[in-house]
Structure 1
């Protein structure tokens, strides 16, 4: 058994709730830009701390006027946008609990979560969401109110509450204690029905205040500036919600962007110019892939690849110096690095707005080389690890000693234990209260104050955690060989043409894989090779394309034993998408759903 603890860096509040910070900041620093919101012309409009307080207060009064009471649960079904943050803090101001729903949720999923949570009111983004809720409303007797953001729900509620005195809200707000429930967040449901994780105001305070205390310096582009971030993570996911709370508590200006799509996201990054960002590895992979395609199109692929190699070597040398195992980059490497900084790295940073020097990555594993490359290119990515039951992050790499390829050390106030069977256990103030209406599941997950995560990992001598797999995802071939599919999948997915990879082989004679293609990368690949645009069905059988994917599989196989290696693969014509129920909103594979959807293709892999 391994165990490592990092002492808390912030004192746990004994009174109050999450909404208090809105009113405290407005009183002490009213003119500071707290958020930014796009206007109808697409321009960013500053919102001061005082303005945000006034909007929260007005909305909170409207909620009270419309019957929302202390302890009520109110669902929010929307993409990431300013109004979500506004509603969160208005609900917390009156002691209500928000229940986030993914905007892509099906009617049956919506029915399950609203019924299980006993939701009495709901906020939806647009008419399609309203119709989704409407299709099951006859089976939701507790649901009494429905507001639609795109139908001016803000103004409707402001008018409804205009006659109430401010003190009515403050009486509710001051009745909150840290152990009051703040939200019920449903797990993504990679297997089975999603479960509602009950998180308190104290859970968010322990999580965010320790993160702000430890990482506040990296929020800035330079010392003394006003830090800012563009929030594009789904606010229905615990990572996005934690960021929302942490940034407001840490006095970081927040902008919102509703699409987790590099093509749409990059222009907003360029206009908002955040000082740092928080994202999932997919975003960094797409930014890198787009830069590499652009270099190839312009006939500069050779210099670009050399710049990647230089950045990686530079960062690795700096990493060795930070840990006292090397002298750092040598003179020749430093000169090379300076040249490529002007030619390549500065352009990559410009694509992210030009000010961004730090980023946080979570949600899934990032390849070590990618972290090293971005670090060498002038933007350090702090990889972390967490889950909904831990209010997001439990570990993260420290700024001064980042060990790339690991998910870092425990955040302050957290203990990480690796049990005898390799399972990661967590303890700290951010650990959830249990699953709503599921005492058996709670008892199975919480043991004497420890959260049993279901993830497998190892701790090194310095307390850095490396995640090696997930207990439920371990494959056992018919010969008895155990295989952790995640690492293989990540390495295949590192190839520019690959979008997703699913490794199969449970109770089978060998390991195989299903591979999907990145449409933009494939289109670029065809253009660069003067090949005609082909229908996807024809493309997947193109021998040159198959050779490229085989290279990715062979490269992944070099990291495992022969018994664990992928023997054969199938390129699929379709994508694994969230809309088809094959990915979670945080882009994790829904293994069981994919295996059911592609049962015929998987069977064919073992008939060769």
Structure 2
């Protein structure tokens, strides 16, 4: 009988036969991601773990149980071992939110390798640079568009969607070899908490990506800190919509779901998020500020579309809900009559809320950039309390609001296992511990610079204060890095340097912090004419070299150069971004209208 093709199998990412995993959780002496995952697969083998959603852009609905995930991961491990991949080698993944990502991740960990995620939106040049930096031995891609970004390299195997079936079934056959199975078991048993499990690339203030080394201990401690803050349980579920290469999805999503035992709904097409939420009905909704901005706008549009009588109920819900929200945020008791009035009005918003988030959501979280207080308050009034968080790839679990302890002016209290300190110059420092990264891949000097001289505190580059309630508030940035409302991070300096290469441009200043896209002011050399056609062509040329979220969507020419004498430049001629933003506030606002 011939082997079924991928299209003929119910589980398109599983091998044609499901083999036994060559090691059990109780055989692992150390507490690692592997032991937690295997224990979950052994205790709840038939419970759904991953669900690819047709409503979220998958070719078809597909459910993968914990045991099926474990078996497929074992095949990945065997394929890697039989290919000669050694423990400590890097395995890279360039793929969207499909089952391939979590399956390969666990399989690569079983094989003792280090998993490297590449953003699906990266350019060919960016992919080449990151693959070269980490020295990946194997690269897995999930489609022709991603495959076109990478070029063959000596010593690197590329597994594409077209060769996945053959490669995975080759791993299944390799598992029948006792030597291969024994080697996988040996590597799993050898895994230690301080071993590097993955690299998560982050852009620094210079724009040069650095691979943050995260250990098994980092991943487990972070997941436990998140579960503690949100009181997550095995019956919870969440959507996977941010790329797995993103620190938030990798840790707040993927590894937290493994530790807690939550089901993931995979959204391959982010533009279909609301449709996916209605279908999957998650209990926990994690999003970026831009998603909640859209949700608020959709809810207000629903209010505007109903007859006048219902609209009056909407208005009353918002009025009563804002009063209730302000009391809750202040830590004051909500009077019983106010709570009853609010509860009696919620039905007017029930259907619109369910059409966006599904009808089971009990928790909503936001990170990556600040959520505008007016958006957060409007949603809270309607019954969606969005809990903000703060973290960095180097230490993701810094601060988080709790369901019964939140506001919209801070980023919450420190998370379990995190110690905070404010330096003399106002910089936020984080105590080095289990939740802290192990350093930057191949960059010992950058690693040393990330910490204080005594090595005990991680430098965040952010200015902060801790209020009288113990909540952390971020007040500014020491480092040059923009956080868009979409959660994407943009290093402005390289973009500004390229924009300033035009002969008429003296300086370029890029903006976008808390905004949905990047905009730029181009300060013209003294006496230079604007020549919009030439400048526009130049901006387009620069954009062609950038990832989509980095591209300058709007720009404006401003006559006259920035000057040190005017307080716009430092003594070393670096732009004072805050001064420029304040002095040209109208022009900056015009970039985002």
Q: Output the CA distance in 1 between the equivalents of 2:520 and 2:285.
A: 31
The alpha carbon displacement at 1:315 in A equals 1.4
Alpha-carbon contact 2:121-2:548 (below 8 Å) kept: no
Q: Which runs of 5+ in 1 are unaligned?
A: 1-12, 221-225, 476-484, 494-498, 509-536, 538-573, 585-589
Q: Which runs of 5+ in 2 are unaligned?
A: 1-27, 483-509, 526-531, 533-538, 562-582, 588-593
Coordinate RMSD, CA, aligned: 3.5
Instruction: Tell whether 2:197 aligns with 1:197.
Output: no
The alpha carbon displacement at 1:294 in A equals 3.6
Alpha-carbon contact 1:312-1:369 (below 8 Å) kept: no
Could you give the per-residue CA deviations for residues 100-153 of structure 1, whole angstroms, max 9, x where no partner exists? 11112112211211111111110112112212112xx4xx444x20011x3251
Instruction: Tell whether 2:87 aligns with 1:70.
Output: yes
Q: Output the CA distance in 1 between the equivalents of 2:222 and 2:79.
A: 30
**Paired residue secondary structure (1:249):** helix
2:415 aligned residue: 411
1:501-540 matches, cutoff 5 A? none
Instruction: Tell whether 2:467 aligns with 1:460.
Output: yes
Alpha-carbon contact 1:360-1:381 (below 8 Å) kept: yes
Residues 1:501 and 1:87: Cα distance change in structure 2 (over 3 Å)? closer
2:11 aligned residue: none
2:502 aligned residue: none
**Paired residue secondary structure (1:293):** helix
Instruction: Tell whether 2:356 aligns with 1:348.
Output: no
2:565 aligned residue: none
Could you give the per-residue CA deviations for residues 562-596 of structure 1, whole angstroms, max 9, x where no partner exists? xxxxxxxxxxxx99x99873765xxxxx5xx749x
The alpha carbon displacement at 1:295 in A equals 3.2
Select which of 189, 193, 197 maps to 1:182. 197
Residues 1:216 and 1:124: Cα distance change in structure 2 (over 3 Å)? same
The alpha carbon displacement at 1:429 in A equals 1.2
**Paired residue secondary structure (1:406):** coil
Deviating more after overlay: 153-162 vs 116-125: 153-162
The alpha carbon displacement at 1:251 in A equals 0.7
Deviating more after overlay: 95-104 vs 291-300: 291-300
The alpha carbon displacement at 1:210 in A equals 2.5
Alpha-carbon contact 2:363-2:386 (below 8 Å) kept: yes
Q: Output the CA distance in 2 between the equivalents of 1:505 and 1:402.
A: 40
TM-score by length of 1: 0.72
1:387 aligned residue: 392
Alpha-carbon contact 2:200-2:246 (below 8 Å) kept: yes
1:288 aligned residue: 296
**Paired residue secondary structure (1:414):** coil
Alpha-carbon contact 1:317-1:329 (below 8 Å) kept: no
Deviation beyond 4 Å, 4+ runs, structure 1: 39-43, 297-306, 499-508, 577-580, 601-608
The alpha carbon displacement at 1:67 in A equals 2.4
Residues 1:349 and 1:308: Cα distance change in structure 2 (over 3 Å)? farther
1:260 aligned residue: 270
Alpha-carbon contact 1:359-1:381 (below 8 Å) kept: yes
Instruction: Tell whether 2:434 aligns with 1:426.
Output: no
The alpha carbon displacement at 1:19 in A equals 1.9
Could you give the per-residue CA deviations for residues 535-555 of structure 1, whole angstroms, max 9, x where no partner exists? xx9xxxxxxxxxxxxxxxxxx
**Paired residue secondary structure (2:238):** strand
Q: Output the CA distance in 1 between the equivalents of 2:545 and 2:420.
A: 36
1:29 aligned residue: 44
TM-score by length of 2: 0.74
Residues 1:583 and 1:107: Cα distance change in structure 2 (over 3 Å)? closer
2:323 aligned residue: 313
Select which of 238, 255, 268 maps to 1:245. 255
Between the two proteins, the alignment pairs up a number of residues equal to: 487
Could you give the per-residue CA deviations for residues 237-261 of structure 1, whole angstroms, max 9, x where no partner exists? 1111002001111011112112333
With CA pairs under 8 Å and 6+ residues apart, which has the higher RCO, 1 or 2?
Answer: 1
Could you give the per-residue CA deviations for residues 84-105 of structure 1, whole angstroms, max 9, x where no partner exists? 0111100011111111111121
Could you give the per-residue CA deviations for residues 139-197 of structure 1, whole angstroms, max 9, x where no partner exists? x444x20011x325155223344132443322211111011111111114564211111
Residues 1:306 and 1:99: Cα distance change in structure 2 (over 3 Å)? same
**Paired residue secondary structure (2:465):** strand
1:168 aligned residue: 183
1:141-160 matches, cutoff 5 A? 141-142=154-155, 144-148=156-160, 150-151=161-162, 153-160=164-171
The alpha carbon displacement at 1:22 in A equals 2.3
Q: Output the CA distance in 2 between the equivalents of 1:133 and 1:16.
A: 36
Deviating more after overlay: 71-80 vs 499-508: 499-508
Q: Output the CA distance in 1 between the equivalents of 2:166 and 2:517.
A: 43
The alpha carbon displacement at 1:370 in A equals 2.6
Q: Output the CA distance in 1 between the equivalents of 2:547 and 2:355.
A: 34
